[in-house]
Structure 1
């Protein structure tokens, strides 16, 4: 099935249901607050506001004035997009939907008082709270690496300046130099996927520095779309990519940012550019509010409500929800389910059964796109996959080109769905 902008918005918006009637008289509107303005948070704020017909007072708390998508950032590394094409502002979202956008950091949540504290001072009260904080990094996940070293060995797993730094490091590599990636363990944020990133860097180097090498140290035995990526690397970038999985010491890694060295199972590799992607966890605000078990925040699948607090919903990368990957598409899908649940709780409007979907596209080379995806339902225990699909090795070039064009349509559709 080819996904167009009209199809994406139409099918994924179906769960939003009918508009709720505005509240009457001088009664104060119920308050929904959303923390985080990414694929989950921006979508949730927009759908609560528009589908309640103004019956709910919506506030979005997001420190950045421009949101740079992590999805498609690998295409910037490969030279297929500009960094500006990944940037989106909140002005239209605020103006068209009567959403109060507060550009500040949420530093704490008082769950008893139902307030969110702001770094700039003061707090914002809520009746229902949605948290979509994205990812944080686990301290000491990669020995020798910390956030203090992120300029020397960037993670580029949060959009914007980190992605620009990584591209600059790659562009500055000497002829025949070595790029090293330290890949993350499961589970990790899907886009920007590490293996699409390898493909895009290989694409760039094939043109700009064809004798360069790419070394990937990976703690996993296998990864998503592995056969598709390895086919692409072998056919399109022969001899350039050396993937070292856990069987060969890929999980035994130490880095030395000052000397730009990476130790892989005790062997020193001198890196001219290095991308360290550490193990991940839910964004810090979820931990600060005691909404996590281990690294992630467990939720009720049918509503995305926290299992620790029924007045809070948790979306996207931060949620421990079951079978869905940690992707922008997944966060957007979950946001619509949560928005419908919040609207139902605050206005008494009808709530429909939750349905979820996801597709993750990856670009291997020019007009060579692949994808994987599924449909999901909410069970008592988890969001469960019920139907899945994946591109196949050996596909014809016209099919791969159509898959890439499909991904471009999806990008336009999801960013319009997030920001209006």
Structure 2
């Protein structure tokens, strides 16, 4: 496995997400119809890049919500470092500039035989190719006492929006000296560094406004991604405030007491002033109803085209996929979506097939002025997707370098969301 230089990483972070997309379409050919279900990063990217193709395609995007709030960078909102409005993006540019038909409704079914997407309002949309970007669903039943209703008391905040606001309100109203308990789910799950970044940034908030508060991370795992970077950051910024308990210590998370705000493990019960329960995850509900999910709970895909291995003519991108070594992150989703768009253009318009280029870039905040990064290049084969090159931040980096990563991260967010939503 090769490691990249910082110069190469900066080029990837700044340029890869903005690569042009110009497939060739045969003259005189009627526009092929693509229906994209899900208006998150994956669905919006596929829709935009298909609609921007030369000659164009008839692209419809189905998304029930009028706007999208990014999960990535939402931990900064919890720390008081960003507004929720700054993380919220509309679909107006996709519709007005790129000519995408945006329908705000719920897709209830995808019929791969009739090639029909059925909406909640009764509309049926025919397609030549469909893309399903359903995100994640939660395996509530894995934690006794926790269900969707319980999220109104013990939020997961793993889909950004009302849950994020609720958790922020609970943190603001928590008395100084209280204990914030966060449960980290088993692999695989959306955003591997996310629970630990959340603990870091909530500690940043506590350090300023509730300095006697404590944070307890109850983990379903015995180790986690970038663990050395996080533990180094916690010791430098928040000594004595954050405690991480691995599964081998607690025996695993078993149940919650919603009224008592307590988390039960095999080894004991932990009382919380505020509890953030992040459940185990699986592919979104539409993927399950459409027969796109295997026994793993995720969607197996062709690594070169992201076409479903279970339902031909339907492609799946984003967190719902089972995609080899690729983590479930926003940049991965965007990268998958572009490869998927090229593959669909090739299949429908006769454009030249392109070699897949798959990347991940992730910025993780340890404090307001301390962030780390990783950049990963992947190699797709007919069988799977593997890591080919990687660059990670390291313990002991200069403080100015970490501040530069913060500045790069903020610039990356603006460029990235512009690339997705126009």
Q: Do these two structures clear the TM 0.5 threshold for a shared fold by scoring above it? A: yes
Matched, 1:406 2:411: no
Q: Are the equivalent residues in 2 in contact too, given 1:13–1:336 (CA < 8 A)?
A: no
The Cα of 1:335 is off from its aligned counterpart by 0.4
Check whether the contact 2:374–2:392 (CA below 8 A) recurs between aligned residues. Answer: yes
After superposition, residues 48-87 of structure 1 pair within 5 angstroms as 48-54=50-56, 56-87=57-88
Question: Using a 3 Å threshold, how does the CA distance of structure 1 residues 386 and 296 change in structure 2: closer, same or farther?
Answer: same
1:22: how far off?
6.2
Q: CA RMSD in A?
A: 1.8
**Structure 2 CA distance for aligned equivalents of residues 380 and 392 of structure 1:** 33
| Aligned ranges 1:164-313 → 2 under 5 Å | 164-190=165-191, 193-249=194-250, 251-294=252-295, 295-313=297-315
Contact 1:305 / 1:314 at 8 angstroms: preserved in 2? yes
Q: Residues 85, 228 of structure 1: CA spacing in aligned structure 2 closer, same or farther, 3 A cutoff? A: same
Q: Report the equivalent of 1:371.
A: 373
TM-score normalised to structure 2 length: 0.95
* Structure 2 segments unaligned to the other structure (5+ residues): 1-5
- Once residues 169 and 22 of structure 1 are traced to their aligned partners in structure 2, the CA distance between those partners, rounded to angstroms, is 57
Residues 7-156 of structure 1 aligned to structure 2 (within 5 Å)? 8=13, 10-14=15-19, 16=21, 18-21=22-25, 23-24=27-28, 28-54=30-56, 56-156=57-157
1:70–1:191 Cα contact (<8 Å) kept: no
Q: Secondary structure at the match of 1:374?
A: strand
The C-alpha deviation readout for 1:287-340, integer Å capped at 9, x for no partner, is 101111121000000111100123111001000010110000000000000000
Q: Residue deviations 1:126-150, cap 9 Å, x none? A: 1001111100011312221111110
1:359 CA displacement: 1.4
**In 2, are the aligned partners of 1:301 and 1:379 still within 8 Å (CA)?**
yes
> Which residue is 2:319 aligned to?
317
Give the TM-score of the pair, scaled to structure 1: 0.95
Instruction: Render the CA deviation track for 1:373-414: whole Å, top value 9, x for unaligned.
Output: 310111122111100111101111011111111111211111
Shift of 1:122: 1.7
**Aligned pair count?**
416
Q: Per-residue displacement from partner, 1:212-262 (whole Å, max 9, x unpaired)?
A: 111111010100110000111111111111111011015133211112122
CA displacement at 1:12 relative to structure 2: 3.8
Q: Deviations over 1:129-185 (max 9, x none)?
A: 111110001131222111111010000000111100011111111120011111110
SS in 1 for 2:301: strand
**Contact 1:19/1:52 (<8 A) preserved:** yes
Aligned residue for 1:101, secondary structure, equals: strand
- Distance in structure 1 (CA, Å) of the matches to 2:208 and 2:142: 34
Name the residue aligned to 2:3.
none
Contact 2:181 2:272 in 1 (8 A): yes
Q: Is contact 1:22-1:52 (8 Å) kept?
A: no
Tell me if the contact between 2:299 and 2:308 (Cα under 8 Å) persists in the aligned partners: yes
Contact 1:191 1:328 in 2 (8 A): no
- Check 1:212–1:3 CA distance in 2 against 1; reply closer, same or farther (3 A cut): farther
For 2:253 and 2:138, how far apart are their aligned partners in 1?
18
| Alpha-carbon separation, structure 1, partners of 2:305 and 2:121 | 31
Deviations along 1:172-222, one digit per CA (max 9) or x if unpaired, are 111200111111100010077100000011000111100011111101010
Would the aligned equivalents of 2:45 and 2:337 in 1 still touch at CA under 8 Å? yes
Aligned residue number for residue 388 of structure 2: 386
Alpha-carbon distance between aligned partners in 1 of 2:369 and 2:36, rounded to the nearest angstrom: 37
Q: Which runs of 5+ in 1 are unaligned?
A: none
